[in-house]
Amino acid sequence: MAGGDGELKLLGMWASPFVTRAKLALHIKGLSYDYVEEDLGNKSELLLSSNPVHKAVPVLIHNGKPVCESQIVVQYIDEAFAGTGPSLLPADPYERAVARFWAAYIDGKLGTPWQQVFRVKTDEERAEAMKQTFAAVDALEGGLKECSKGKDFFGGDSVGYVDVVLGGLVSWVKATNVLVGAELFDAAKTPHLAAWMDRFCELDAAKAVLQDVDAVVEYAKAVQARAAAAAASN
């Protein structure tokens, strides 16, 4: 991997899909970096000083300067290392705006109800969260067709910005199938997204950084168990 322009350090936590985005971008661009695993129950002074607003991962530190929030980190990597590896964001301003729209949609309209699936307490609330999640997935199926123009990825022939943003979630998409018995990217209902996920998982960068699905399932179960115990004690 290329050494890049100066020192790169990534503060993260292994199970975070948002950290995975940053890792994907770094690997796709062919950049070397130091990875620091954070204990989010006992956050390091480096993390707290680097991201004093949200105190969250990922944080990319480039030549001592921190960049926070996963989508911003991915954009920064693409722009700061424009001469290294493939470009992630399209060159055309309109296509770049469309890519940013769908990236924002993934976190806002898909991610929000999807997270609630794991947090709600009643079956009725979970059913409503799943309904909203599937509606967002259906819309994203259309977004893939729009961005890809019939090719393999959101970025067309090669992986682009939206692919990285969604790709960071792939292990959690597969874990959801196990945890709640719901296949988010169903080959019958959303064939383009299902085929996209299969292709994405075959990428060298994906193989290098995507979490083991069984490990994610166990992690999610442990988080849910701690949340249930805390709720019971209150």
Q: What is the DSSP string of 25-79?
A: HHHHHTB--EEEE--TTS--HHHHHHSTTT--S-EEEETTEEEESHHHHHHHHHH
Q: How far is CA 23 from CA 138, 167, 206, in A?
A: 27, 11, 9
Residue 192, domain CATH? 1.20.1050.10
For residue 154, the 8-state DSSP code is: T
Tell me, yes or no, whether 109 and 200 share the same domain: yes
Q: How far is CA 63 from CA 18, 33, 80, 155, in A?
A: 22, 11, 12, 29
Q: One digit per residue, pLDDT tens: the chain, 234 residues?
A: 554 456 999 999 999 999 999 999 999 999 999 999 999 999 999 999 999 999 999 999 999 999 999 999 999 999 999 999 999 999 999 999 999 999 999 999 999 999 999 888 888 999 999 999 999 999 999 999 999 999 999 999 999 999 999 999 999 999 999 999 989 999 999 999 999 999 999 999 999 999 999 999 999 999 888 888 887 887
Question: Which candidate, 14, 15, 234, places its Cα nearest to that of 118?
Answer: 15
Tell me, yes or no, whether 40 and 129 share the same domain: no
Tell me, yes or no, whether 120 and 44 share the same domain: no
Please check whether residue 211 is in contact with residue 171, taking contact to mean a CB–CB distance below 8 angstroms: yes
Q: Domain span at residue 49? A: 8-80
Please check whether residue 110 is in contact with residue 136, taking contact to mean a CB–CB distance below 8 angstroms: yes
Q: Please report which helix (H) or strand (E) contains residue 1, including its range.
A: none
Residue 3 counted as domain residue: no
Tell me, yes or no, whether 97 and 206 share the same domain: yes
Tell me, yes or no, whether 45 and 151 share the same domain: no
